[in-house]
A = this chain, B = another copy of it.
């Protein structure tokens, strides 16, 4: 039988990579001055809690979908497969780690403290030993996580199962915040956006996150052909776990969900400006004449612009979509004789799908050379 086993090992040596997704689809957002724009997902499950896939699949998915970093965060207190899979809380991370290193995916150790509301579900990432987080008291679990150096997040704060009527902030969250045990909040979880979470992030200096909370394969949960999983953009000094943690602790993030970004204007404004390039052809705009401007968008997101203030001396489209990786034609029509003497035409828009606060979009100015 031992010989038999050896034979089998040889037979299957080359199987290890079977079924591998061989191509990586990069996510295109420009870097910001001084920072790399890293693409991260900090909330992921496997068969080791109530997920449906083996841990290595999470690394393969992350690689194929263009991510830089992920955290596997299996539930600590909820393990419906434990009859078949009795392993400990560090195991899913350990299984995934070798492949992550080979593919250059940054794998962050984490676990999900899974309680009824309040305080609901909390993710602790950058921890050292998840087993020690299995505590009777959720407060003790959070303290243990912090002692291990954790970044702690309140997950899906508006989840209907736990907050069926209203998305509330509880005293227990204040207690966590004041004890330094709450660093971030999921503004987006799975396919849900929580406007209250964005407001609290702004008011209470919490870091904005968008995570997938994926249980099944990503390909059956999200439309990866046309869209992407929820992603936290992290503006980090380097591509390393330490730099990601430093950026998270200093709130340098944005939440990327479907065709929207949620974040502070300090990051969304330079991201937008680095994404677009304006190309002005002949001739100089004159009264009663039309001039075509090409606006190229090198990012993966369609920017949806809406005029804030009419320009003086010319009219432009009140609505304008700058499609991803396309050049969009913008028509402007002169309405005064003076316009031909203006060398720098300004258009005042807001970007409807770059959201800085609930109900509030990013204002931008497009400047066009007229010559």
Does the CB pair B161–A11 fall under 8 Å? yes
Q: Which residue of chain B has the shortest Cβ distance to A66 in the bound complex?
A: B327
Beta-carbon contact of B52 and A12 below 8 Å: no
With an 8 Å Cβ cutoff, the count of chain A residues facing the other chain is: 73
Annotate A310-326 by CB proximity to B: 1 below 8 A, 0 otherwise.
00000000000001011
Q: Kindly provide the distance from the CB of A125 to the nearest chain B CB, expressed in whole angstroms.
A: 21
Q: For the complex, give the distance between the alpha carbons of A78 and B325 in Å.
A: 38
Query: Which residues of chain B have C-beta atoms less than 8 A from A166's C-beta?
Result: none
Beyond A11-B161, A26-B326, A217-B219, whether A91 also contacts B84 by CB under 8 A is yes
Could you say which of B85, B91, B225, B292 contacts A102, with CB atoms under 8 Å apart?
A: B292
| A220 interface residue (CB < 8 Å to B) | yes
Smallest CB separation, A190 vs chain B (Å): 8
- Within the complex, the shortest CB–CB distance from A80 to chain B, in Å, comes to 8
A57 to B215, CA, bound (A): 11
Stretch with Cβ within 8 A of B (4 or more), from A13-21, A34-42, A193-201, A359-367? A13-21
Q: Which residues of B contact A101 (CB under 8 A)?
A: 281-283
Q: Say whether B161 contacts A20, CB under 8 Å.
A: no
Q: How far is the CA of A103 from the CA of B294 in the complex (A)?
A: 8
Contact B283 A20 (CB under 8 A): no
Which positions 126-160 of chain A face chain B at CB distance < 8 Å? none
Give residues of chain A (194-226) contacting chain B, Cβ–Cβ below 8 Å: 214-217, 219-221, 224-225
Among A48, A77, A216, which residue has the most Cβ atoms of chain B within 10 A?
A216
Interface membership of A23, Cβ < 8 A: yes
Q: Distance in Å from the Cβ of A287 to the closest Cβ of chain B?
A: 14
| B328 & A22 in contact (Cβ 8 Å cutoff) | yes
Specify which chain B residues have a CB less than 8 angstroms from the CB of A95 in the assembled complex. Answer: 84
Any B CB within 8 A of the CB of A369: no
How far is it, in angstroms, between the C-alpha of A114 and the C-alpha of B327 when the chains are bound?
A: 35
B225 adjacent to A14 (CB under 8 Å): no
Inter-chain contact B221/A220, CB cutoff 8 Å: no
Query: What are 26 A-to-B residue pairs whose CB atoms are below 8 Å?
Result: A12-B78, A17-B290, A19-B52, A19-B215, A21-B216, A21-B220, A23-B326, A26-B326, A47-B54, A52-B53, A52-B54, A52-B57, A53-B53, A57-B220, A60-B216, A60-B220, A61-B220, A84-B85, A84-B95, A85-B85, A102-B283, A103-B292, A103-B329, A217-B219, A219-B219, A219-B220
